[in-house]
Structure 1
Amino acid sequence: MFYSLRSRLMLAFSILLIIPFVALVYLLSEQSAKLIQQSIETSTSQTVDQFASHVSTLLTQVEDVGTQVMSNRVTQDWLTVHMNKDSRVGELLLAKQRLREYFSSYAVNNSNGISMSVFTDDAGGIWTQDRSYVDSKWYKQFKAEDRRWTEAHLDSDQADESMRTHTINSFILPLVQLQSLKTVGLVKINYDTSLLQGAIDKIRIGSTGKVFLLTANGSSVLNQDLGGQRGVLQSGLTQLNAQPKLDESGFFSIRQNREDYLLFYRKLPLQDWVILGEVPEGELYEQISRTRQTMLLVSFLLLLLVIAVAFWLSAGITKPLSAMAKAMRHVKNGEFERALKLMPKARSGHSEVGYVTGFFEQMVHRLKYLIQTEFEANLRRKNAEYKALLLQINPHFFNNSLEIISGLAALKRGDLVMDATEALGKMMRYSLNLHTDRVKVSEELDYIRDYLFILKLRHEDRLIVNMEEDPAADGLFISKFILQPLVENAVKYSLEKGAVAEVTIASRVEEERLLLSVKDNGIGMSPGLTADLMAETRQSDVTDILSSEGNSIGLRNVLSRCRLSYGSRFQLILNSEPDKGTEITLQLPLIRR
Structure 2
Amino acid sequence: MRKWLRSLSLRNKLVLTILICLVLPSIVSMYVSNLFTRDAIRTQVADNARQSMLIASQIVTGQMKNMLYMMNFVQFDVDLREPILNLSRADETTSIGDLYISQNTIYKRIDTVMSPLENLVLTLLLPNGQYYATYTTTNFDPKSFFTKTWMRDVMQSGSYSVKWIGAELNYSQQPSQSYLLEAVKPLRLNGATYGYVIVGLDPSALQKLFAQYEDNESMVVIDAQGKILVDKDSSRIGKPFAYYDQLPTEDGSSFVKVAGEEYIMQSAQVTAEWKLVNMTPYKSAAQQIESFRKTDFAIQLLFLVLFAIALLYVVRTLTKPIARLVQTVFRIETGQLSERSNISGEDEVGRLGYVFDRMIDRIELTLFENKREQELKRKAELAMLQAQINPHFLFNVLNSIRLKIMMKGDEENAELISSLSALLRMTINRNNAYITLHEEIGINEHYVRLLNSRHGDRVVLRVSAASDTLLISIPRFLLQPLIENAYIHGLKSKAGEITITSRIAEDGRLQILIKDSGVGMSPERLEELQSHLEAAPAAQTEIEGSSPSLSGIGLHNVFERLRLIYGHQFDYEIESSMDQGTQIILRFPQQPEKEV
TM-score, L = length of structure 2: 0.49
